[in-house]
Amino acid sequence: MKGAQYLLLPGPTPIPQRVARAMDRPMINHRGPVFKEILEEVIDGVKKIYRTKEHLLIYPASGTGGLEAAVVNFISPGDKVLAISIGVFGDRFAEIAAQFGAQVEKMDFAWGTGADPEQVKARIEQDKNGEIKAVLITHNETSTGAFNDIKSIREALGDHPALFMVDAVSGLAAIELRMDEWGLDVVISGSQKAFMIPPGLSFMAFNERALKIQQKNQNNKYYWDVSLGLQYLAKGQTAVTPPISLYYGLQEALRMMLEEGLDNILTRHAKYREMVRVSLNAMGLQLFTEDGCASSAVTSVLAPAGIGSNGIRKYMLEEFNIILAGGQQSLDNVIFRLGHLGYVRELDLISVLAALEITLLKFGHSLELGVGVKKAQEILQNAKAD
Ligand SMILES: Cc1ncc(COP(=O)(O)O)c(C=O)c1O
């Protein structure tokens, strides 16, 4: 018997029953009063998760669509852009900007680390004439399991006028982010991560400063045009036909998130990170990121020497119906990634860690059964005692 699957990807993530049931409802008129109420509730709810009172639009799109929306609205062809990258998704944001004609200067940091605010500060201080129009950065680099210290990097920009644009697709609601308090101008996220609903919605928040810049933007656009989106939002509608079922799901997921409380959600994700990291260490595995920049959304692990990470994933899938993510690009077959964001339950993690121990033994890695599971249990026990 195969039994239920354990989906431990850094997106898409498991969906709670409440959300699945909420989505199983008939279609309604997206230009009618019921949808208007749903739209207003979800815009308000997503803003709470962003900790913003600024503008927010929801696009029927994946996270990449949200990144493209940000680029086409807030960066004009020829603009100089500083793109900070610590992995695949930092590279992607830079590439989208380049595709739309920006002059992109990459600032790369080693994969597995976070960007150094001091180096960013030094580069920004050189830009005496304010030639850099935007700084692009990833909140949580899903490909490596490292996160950027967004608050410190924003502080490093000081009063430089560049727009600070953050890809928080996989980080939002798993790792702290305070859009207004930290002075973030544009923040993008996606539905299939900590929001606990299927892929298909992208959220983009932007402040008044960004909106002013958008109004002078030179790109041709229609689908992504913020002005169009805002015009419809003022009437309680979306510019194009929305994926209504996803809105039902989002409404229910936000109710769950607000019932739990954002601070509690972040604490829960931090606990998952600890459980996983301490347990993997105890199994004698090497983690790909240092503790200081280790993500609460996803953990990357190096496969033991001589054992490909894809073999481990294949065995876990075939024997236990556990779905783990592989490494991307140069990390393919080198690392595997355990996603622990959204609707992941603590006992699921314990089960997955137990199965991983059996798998590692099968591949000849030496360990004592239970050594990692015990560590995770201890963290859980301590958390319950608090
Ligand atoms: C940080 C980050 N940015 C962007 C994306 C792209 O999102 P999508 O695959 O939904 O287009 C992802 C997807 O995993 C991501 O993790």
What pLDDT digit, counting tens, does each position of 252-293 carry?
Answer: 999 999 999 999 999 999 999 999 999 999 999 999 999 999
Residue 182 near ligand 1, beta carbon < 6 Å: no
Residue 200 near ligand 1, beta carbon < 6 Å: no
What is the structure's pLDDT at 1?
67
Domain boundary pick from 259, 281, 300: 259
262-282 and 244-260 helices cross at what angle (nearest 10)?
80
- Residue 2, pLDDT above cutoff 90: no
Distance CA 358, CA 364 (A): 10
136 and 25 housed in the same domain: yes
The answer to whether position 88 is within a domain reads yes
For residue 185, the 8-state DSSP code is S
Q: How far is the CA of 85 from the centre of ligand 1 (A)?
A: 14
Domain boundary pick from 259, 290, 315: 259
In this prediction, residues 321-326 reach a mean pLDDT of 98
251 and 268 housed in the same domain: no
The answer to whether position 1 is within a domain reads no
Domain boundary pick from 259, 288, 318: 259
What is the structure's pLDDT at 193?
97
250 and 294 housed in the same domain: no
255 and 336 housed in the same domain: no
- Residue 67, pLDDT above cutoff 80: yes
Residue 152 near ligand 1, beta carbon < 6 Å: no
* Domain that includes residue 206, residue range: 17-259
283 and 243 housed in the same domain: no
- Asked if residue 83 lies in contact with residue 94, where contact means CB atoms within 8 angstroms, the answer is yes
What is the structure's pLDDT at 3?
80
Distance CA 176, CA 192 (A): 18
Q: How far is the CA of 63 from the centre of ligand 1 (A)?
A: 5
Q: What is the pTM of this model?
A: 0.98
- At residue 386 the predicted structure's pLDDT band, cuts being 50, 70 and 90, is confident
Indicate the top mutation candidate among 13, 64, 85, 141 to test ligand 1's pocket, ranked by most ligand atoms within 8 A of CB: 64
Residue with the smallest CA separation from ligand 1 atom 9 is 63
293 and 254 housed in the same domain: no
What is the structure's pLDDT at 19?
98
Residue 62 near ligand 1, beta carbon < 6 Å: yes
C-alpha neighbours within 13 Å on the C-beta side of residue 46: 31
86 and 63 housed in the same domain: yes
Structural domains in the chain (count)? 2
